[in-house]
Homo-oligomer: A and B are copies of this chain.
């Protein structure tokens, strides 16, 4: 960990678990003075170690019954095609994440949809129309054994 000591690690660890934790409580948990804790926290935010705070939502309670991982293979790799591809992905709200990966396929997308109909429509109308895509392979999540966005600090 680049330049982070034990105390910093505990701070980010703690804030990852409870983003609403006040500096006051955080300080007392770490047996640190309010001031020292506050400055560390601010530094971690300024340095970008802590990027932001967010509320986590229950996707099912919001009506997103489907979560899928899609592997895309491309056959065109020129600049323009790539750029159009990336722009579409960026704008598409259903796409939560998109990674350029090693392996058979070129991209792996994490996608949410209301239901299978909605998902199917998304694949047909968005993914199949993406420029340069030659293969699409869907892996729909049947069950989330584990799902967190917390790094093992």
A: residues with CB less than 8 A from B are: 1-2, 4, 12, 15-20, 47-59, 61-64, 67, 69, 71, 86, 89-90, 93-103, 105, 107-108, 112, 137-153
Number of copies of this kind of chain in the complex: 2
Of B2, B16, B53, which is within 8 A of A63 by CB? B2
CB distance A54 to B16 under 8 Å? yes
Q: Bound complex: CA of A48 vs CA of B153, how far in Å?
A: 26
9 A-B residue pairs with Cβ-Cβ distance under 8 Å, sorted by A, are A12-B62, A16-B54, A16-B57, A18-B52, A57-B151, A69-B108, A71-B139, A96-B150, A103-B137
CB distance A53 to B20 under 8 Å? yes
Q: Bound complex: CA of A63 vs CA of B9, how far in Å?
A: 12
CB distance A99 to B53 under 8 Å? no
CB distance A54 to B139 under 8 Å? no
